[in-house]
Amino acid sequence: MFRAMSPIQEGIVPAFTPPPLPSDDKRWKIVNGTMRKNGFARHALIETLHTVQSSFGYLDDDAIRFVARSLRVPLSQAYGVVTFYHYFSLKPPGKHTVTVCAGTACYIKGADALIAAAEKRLGIAQGQTTKDGNISLMTARCVGACSRAPVVLCDGEVAGEASVEQVLEQLERWTVE
C-alpha cells in the first residue's frame, strides 16, 4: 500500500528555527547566547541549564520548556536532567541563603549541630525556604574548604570553623533586616 512519505523520511531535514524568547527579559538573551555558542547542540543542555540558574536563580517550567525546545531535547529528558543533578533547583531561593557544608570533614567536626540549630531557629528543614521568602537553608556536599571545617556559606561567603552561635547570630541579622 502506498503511503506518502514525510520530508524527514525522504532525508530532507527542514531548517531548524529556535523558538522565540519567552519574554523580553534580557536574561533570556544570555541563555540564548549559551545555546548559540554551542550551535544549539543537544549536549549543551547542562551548560544551558547552568546559565538559566545563574541568571534566574532557579529553573521554572517555562525555562525548562524553552531550553528543551531550543535544543530539540525531549521535555522528559530535560526534566530528568534537572532533577538528577543536585545543583539545579526548581524553587526560587530565598533572599539570603545559608549553606552548611555536610562533607566528611565538616561532619566529623560537628556540622550536624549547625544544621539542627538552624533548622530549629528557622522552623524549616534543610533544603527549604522560610515562608516569607527571606532565608533558605541548604546543605552542600563539600565545598572543598575541609581544612577549616565545619564550614558555613552565608550568601556564598565562606566562614570556617563555624559555631552554632555564629550561625544563629547571622540568621538573627538577616531576620531583623
Residues that bind another protein (CB under 8 A): 42-47, 49-50, 73, 77, 80-81, 84-88, 102-105, 107-109, 140-149, 157-160
Q: How far is the CB of 35 from another protein (least distance, A)?
A: 11
Of 89 and 134, which CB lies nearer to another protein in the complex structure? 89
Of 30 and 105, which CB lies nearer to another protein in the complex structure? 105
Of 130 and 139, which CB lies nearer to another protein in the complex structure? 139
Q: How far is the CB of 60 from another protein (least distance, A)?
A: 17
Query: Residue 106 phi/psi, 5° resolution?
Result: -70, -35
Of 62 and 87, which CB lies nearer to another protein in the complex structure? 87
First to last CA, the chain: 75
Residue 137's alpha-carbon distances to 49, 67, 93, 125, 140, in angstroms, are: 22, 28, 9, 7, 10
Of 87 and 172, which CB lies nearer to another protein in the complex structure? 87
Distance CA 74, CA 83 (A): 15
Q: How far is the CB of 88 from another protein (least distance, A)?
A: 6
Cβ atoms 41, 67 nearer than 8 A: no
Q: How far is the CB of 7 from another protein (least distance, A)?
A: 26
Q: How far is the CB of 69 from another protein (least distance, A)?
A: 15
Distance of CA 114 to the CA centre of its chain: 23
Residue 57's alpha-carbon distances to 50, 89, 90, 109, in angstroms, are: 10, 8, 9, 31
Beta bridge pairs of residue 92: none
